Amino acid sequence: MNRISLVILVWLATNCNAQAVGGLADVAIVDRESGAVLTPHYYRGEYWVAGNPGARYAIEIHNKLGERVLAVTSVDGVNVVSGATAGWDQTGYVFTSGDRYQITGWRKSDAEIAAFTFTASPNSYAERTGRPANVGVIGVALFRERPPVSAYTSPSIGPREEDQSRYEGRLKDEAAGSAPSRQSMDKAAAAELDARVAPAAPGPKLGTGHGAREYSYVNHTEFERMQTQPNEVIRIRYDSLENLFAMGIIKRPRPPATSVNPFPVSPDPQYVPDPRG
C-alpha cells in the first residue's frame, strides 16, 4: 500500500475541457492572476502553453473516471509534494470520481503550499536546487486503483473561510489584441511581410518559482495502484509567449497591409445619386 496525500484545494475551477489535455483525466494550466485557462498548442508531438512571467498558475486535474485515481505530479522534473527529483513510484494526490481540483504550488505541509509562479529559469525552484535539466515541463502520471476488499469513503476537507479570504483577489486581465489577418497582396509583398515576421532566436527559458506561502489543506489516505507503470502520462511544456513565437510554435499575428492611394489629394469621383423610393 502506498501512503499518499489527498487534497481539496482552495479554488474550484470552471469547466475547461475544451482546453485540457488527457484521457483518464483532463489536465489544464490556469493563470491564477487572470483566471484564464492557457490554450495548449500542439507542435511536433507535444503540447505547449504560453506562461505570463510573474503570474501564479495552477495545474487543474479533473478525474473523468467513476473511481479514484492517483496523480503523481511533477513540475520541471521535481515532485510537487515531496520536492524529490520526480519518479512514477512517488507520492501524489488522490482524486475521487468526478473531482476537479487545482494544484497551486509546492507542498510545504498539510496546511500550506508555496505558490507556482512563472519566472526566469535561473530563479526556478528546480535550477535553484541544482536540477536545471527539465525546466519547462509539467507532468502528470495517472494510476488507477486496485479494487479494494472493502468499501472506503475518503474524507472531504476544505479550507477555512477566514483563511480563504486572505488569499482571494485577482489582477486585472491584460488586454490582448490580435492583429488583423493579411489581406490579398501580390507575391513580392507577401514574401517581404513573411520575412518581417519570421521566427527569431528564443530568449531565456521560463521556469517555475517557489512563490509566496498560501493555505491549502490535505488529508492522508491509502491507495494501492493497479499496476507499477502509469495508466497514462500527460506531459505539457511551457515557455513565454515570445519564446513560443520565436520557436514557431505559435504564429505571430501579422501586421495589416497598409492601404495606399495613388491620388491622395484628388477628391473621390461623384455621380448622380438615385432618387428615393
Task: Residue 229: give the domain boundaries.
Answer: 2-162+185-246
- For residue 50, the model assigns a pLDDT of 95
- What is the number of domains present in the chain? 1
Average pLDDT of the chain? 79
Type of residue numbered 235: R
Average pLDDT rounded to a whole number, residues 215-238: 94
266 inside domain: no
pLDDT greater than 70 at residue 107: yes
pLDDT greater than 70 at residue 155: no
Distance CA 270, CA 195 (A): 41
251 inside domain: no
pLDDT greater than 90 at residue 177: no
Higher pLDDT, 149 or 53: 53
Q: Which residues contact 89 (CB under 8 A, 6 or more apart)?
A: 228
157 inside domain: yes
Which of these ranges, 47-51, 97-101, 131-135, has the smallest mean pLDDT?
97-101
270 inside domain: no
- For residue 229, the model assigns a pLDDT of 95
Task: Give the length of the chain.
Answer: 277
Which letter does DSSP use for residue 258 in this model?
P
214 inside domain: yes
**Contact predicate 160/252, CB 8 Å:** no
Q: Which residues contact 215 (CB under 8 A, 6 or more apart)?
A: 10, 111, 112, 159, 160, 163, 164, 166, 167
Q: Distance of alpha carbon 62 from its chain centroid, rounded?
A: 14
Average pLDDT rounded to a whole number, residues 153-170: 43
The pLDDT-based confidence of 64 (bands split at 50, 70, 90) is very high
The strand ranges marked E within the chain are 2-7, 25-31, 41-43, 46-51, 57-63, 69-75, 78-79, 93-95, 100-103, 105-107, 112-120, 137-144, 206-215, 218-223, 232-240
- For residue 171, the model assigns a pLDDT of 35
35 inside domain: yes
Which of these ranges, 12-21, 170-179, 236-245, 246-255, has the smallest mean pLDDT?
170-179
In DSSP terms, 27 is beta-bridged to 21, 61
198 inside domain: yes
The 10s digit of each residue's pLDDT in 9-48 is 333 334 445 677 888 999 999 999 999 999 999 999 999 9
**Contact predicate 96/61, CB 8 Å:** no
172 inside domain: no
Distance CA 235, CA 138 (A): 6
Question: Among 60, 142, 108, which residue's Cα sits nearest to residue 210?
Answer: 108
Average pLDDT rounded to a whole number, residues 72-96: 95
- For residue 150, the model assigns a pLDDT of 55
